[in-house]
Amino acid sequence: MKPERINILGSVYSIEYCNRPSDVDLFKRESLFGQTDYWTQTIRIYDNGRSIQDIWKTIIHEVLHIIGECMKLDILDKGGMKDERKHEELDMLAVALADTFFRNNLILLKADNQDTVVPMPRPRDKTFG
Domains of the chain: 5-128 (3.30.2010)
**Higher local confidence (pLDDT), 70 or 115:** 70
- Can you say how many angstroms the Cα of residue 32 is from the centroid of all Cα atoms in its chain? 11
| Cα 106 from Cα 45, distance rounded (Å) | 21
pLDDT value, residue 126: 41
Q: Comparing 12-16, 19-23, 25-29, 71-75, which segment has the lowest mean pLDDT?
A: 71-75
Helix (H) or strand (E) holding 67: helix 52-70
pLDDT at 119: 47
82 contacts: CB under 8 Å, gap ≥ 6: 76
